[in-house]
Homo-oligomer: A and B are copies of this chain.
Amino acid sequence: MSSSPNLYFDAASTAPLHPVARQALAAALDEGWGDPARLHRSGRQARMLLDAARETVAELFGARPDEVSFTSSGTQAVHLGMLGALRGRRRTGRHLVHSAVEHSSVLHTAELFAADGGELTAVGVDRAGLVSPAGFAAAVRPDTALAVLQSANHEVGTVQPVAQTAALLGEVPLLVDAAQSAGRLPVPPGWSLLAASAHKWGGPAGVGVLAVRKGVRFASVLPADERESGRVPGYVNVPAIVAAAASLRAVRAEAAAENARLHALVERIRTAVPQLVPQVEVVGDPVHRLPHLVTFSCLYVDGEVLLTELDRAGIAVSSGSSCTSSTLTPSHVLAAMGVLTEGNVRVSLPTGTTAEQVERFLAVLPGLVARVREPLGLDLPAPAAAVQPTAAAVPPGGAEPHAPASDALVLDALGKRCPLPVIELAKRFGEVEPGRLVVVLADDEAARLDIPAWCEMRGQAYEGEAPAADYGADRGFAYLVRRLS
């Protein structure tokens, strides 16, 4: 609630309704409530408002009005856009290229396509979450029907090189998922299909945008319907669309000034957190980034416990840690980047966030992290020692296989969930001499990512995975860590 002293720093999940959206919604409920498909006066009035909203969105996204259809969410725009393009180009082939850090709506559509016989190539990213344009383009084949790339990552804020990538794709259409940047940043050129979501820019829930460039082959996979150029069936939500368009115009007009302000506030968080909290990794590209979003991970911290502590302190943030997901797997984005997933916090600032609010957050955070860590009794280095990671992502599957080491310290963390395996490692690591091996047996998904990340932050050597059976366990994996210092 706007009157409370709470800090809402989860704009990337949903932004508070922009005042212009609220005003436009109220007006459109009065003037645009009719069925735009009808010939009578209230139908015509609704249709006029719908046409005007379409023109606004088209203009601001660099599209023609007849290229723009409204959906009921960004997810629906991605689903229908991808499936429609894949079906429209099925004679070209059944190969789909996407980055490994796309939104789940893209990955779930890719899974459905693969289950139906399609072939996928997921293009990896570097440790900052960036796609390489040349690497992405190299994945394209003669039978590639569609490529999908986000404008900016929803979890770590890294802005992708969309225009450079699009320029290398030749005839292959590129669907750009602009959900996280639309409104805040201009839509990057080069898209053939574009998806966006109004509630992320301060519009109401219930409105997404799917734009399809004229000439791009598209065949809807849903039952026929005359609404929205045959691309999105169902009754059109005119009042919400009017509010979405009005707020998009308002947000774009404010963006230059607001982005500069929020960019500085995020820079302050990026700099301050590692100074204030020991053993923290700020993730995501420090330069190519969204103005309002920053993500960091805290060693030895249970993400859900930290989120709960922050919530009790009146601060709303989000997390990609496995303990906060219903499937108990860590964020696929953090995994693809090869960064620490435990104690993960995503801070995304809504329009109007003040420096005072950011300072309030920074004042509260260190004490909360310390309180969560306190029961562990770990001896942590001072914050200044926080390591800025530089190495490339850990190769999947780890280093070369080893013969089982007979003199290793074996730590049994089987059945323990994130962050317990890493805590176990940190607590008992001092028991071995430099040069000796520590083996962590674990079956939690997050351990595969967090043990290498721990090694990197602590300057120790991660030597890869071995079969758990080599160390007498009947499940999970053995993670090999050599003490260097």
Task: Flag whether A39 is at the interface (Cβ < 8 A).
Answer: yes
Q: Which of B17, B25, B41, B109 contacts A311 (CB 8 A)?
A: B41
* Inter-chain contact A233/B307, CB cutoff 8 Å: no
Task: Flag whether A99 is at the interface (Cβ < 8 A).
Answer: no
Residue of B nearest to A222 (CB): B79
Task: Flag whether A330 is at the interface (Cβ < 8 A).
Answer: no
The smallest C-beta distance from A236 to any residue of chain B, in angstroms, reads 7
Enumerate chain B residues within 8 angstroms of A204, measured Cβ to Cβ. Answer: 29, 237, 239
Task: Flag whether A1 is at the interface (Cβ < 8 A).
Answer: yes
Q: Which of A17, A42, A105, A235 counts the most B-chain CB atoms under 10 A from its CB?
A: A235
Task: Flag whether A225 is at the interface (Cβ < 8 A).
Answer: yes
Q: Which of A29, A76, A206 counts the most B-chain CB atoms under 10 A from its CB?
A: A206
Enumerate chain B residues within 8 angstroms of A75, measured Cβ to Cβ. Answer: 225, 233-235
Q: How many copies does the complex hold?
A: 2
Residue of B nearest to A21 (CB): B29
* Inter-chain contact A108/B39, CB cutoff 8 Å: no
Residue of B nearest to A4 (CB): B41
Number of interface residues of A (CB under 8 A): 66
Task: Flag whether A112 is at the interface (Cβ < 8 A).
Answer: yes
* Inter-chain contact A72/B237, CB cutoff 8 Å: yes
- CB contact list, A103-126 vs B, under 8 A: 104-105, 108-109, 111-112
With A39-B308, A316-B42 known to touch, is A111 a contact of B224 (CB < 8 Å)? Answer: yes
The smallest C-beta distance from A96 to any residue of chain B, in angstroms, reads 13
* Inter-chain contact B72/A105, CB cutoff 8 Å: no
Q: Which of B8, B35, B236, B238 contacts A13 (CB 8 A)?
A: B35
- CB contact list, A206-240 vs B, under 8 A: 206, 208, 222-226, 233-240
Task: Flag whether A31 is at the interface (Cβ < 8 A).
Answer: yes
Enumerate chain B residues within 8 angstroms of A206, measured Cβ to Cβ. Answer: 72, 206, 237, 240
The smallest C-beta distance from A104 to any residue of chain B, in angstroms, reads 8
Task: Flag whether A317 is at the interface (Cβ < 8 A).
Answer: yes
Q: Contact flags (1/0) for A33-56 with B, using CB distance below 8 Å?
A: 111011111110000000000000
The smallest C-beta distance from A50 to any residue of chain B, in angstroms, reads 11
* Bound-complex Cα distance A326 to B37 (A): 10
Enumerate chain B residues within 8 angstroms of A234, measured Cβ to Cβ. Answer: 72-76, 79, 105, 208
Enumerate chain B residues within 8 angstroms of A13, measured Cβ to Cβ. Answer: 34-35, 37-38, 43
Enumerate chain B residues within 8 angstroms of A237, measured Cβ to Cβ. Answer: 72, 204-206
Enumerate chain B residues within 8 angstroms of A304, measured Cβ to Cβ. Answer: 39
Enumerate chain B residues within 8 angstroms of A208, measured Cβ to Cβ. Answer: 234
Task: Flag whether A354 is at the interface (Cβ < 8 A).
Answer: no
* Inter-chain contact B1/A30, CB cutoff 8 Å: yes
28 A-B pairs whose Cβ atoms sit less than 8 Å apart in the complex: A2-B30, A10-B35, A10-B40, A10-B42, A13-B38, A29-B204, A34-B316, A38-B316, A39-B304, A41-B311, A41-B316, A42-B316, A72-B234, A73-B233, A73-B235, A75-B225, A75-B233, A76-B234, A79-B222, A79-B234, A104-B225, A105-B234, A108-B225, A108-B233, A111-B223, A205-B235, A205-B238, A205-B240
Residues of chain A whose beta carbon lies under 8 Å from any beta carbon of chain B:
1-2, 6, 8, 10, 13-14, 16-17, 22, 25, 29-31, 33-35, 37-43, 72-76, 79, 104-105, 108-109, 111-112, 197, 199, 204-206, 208, 222-226, 233-240, 304, 307-308, 310-311, 314, 316-318, 324, 326
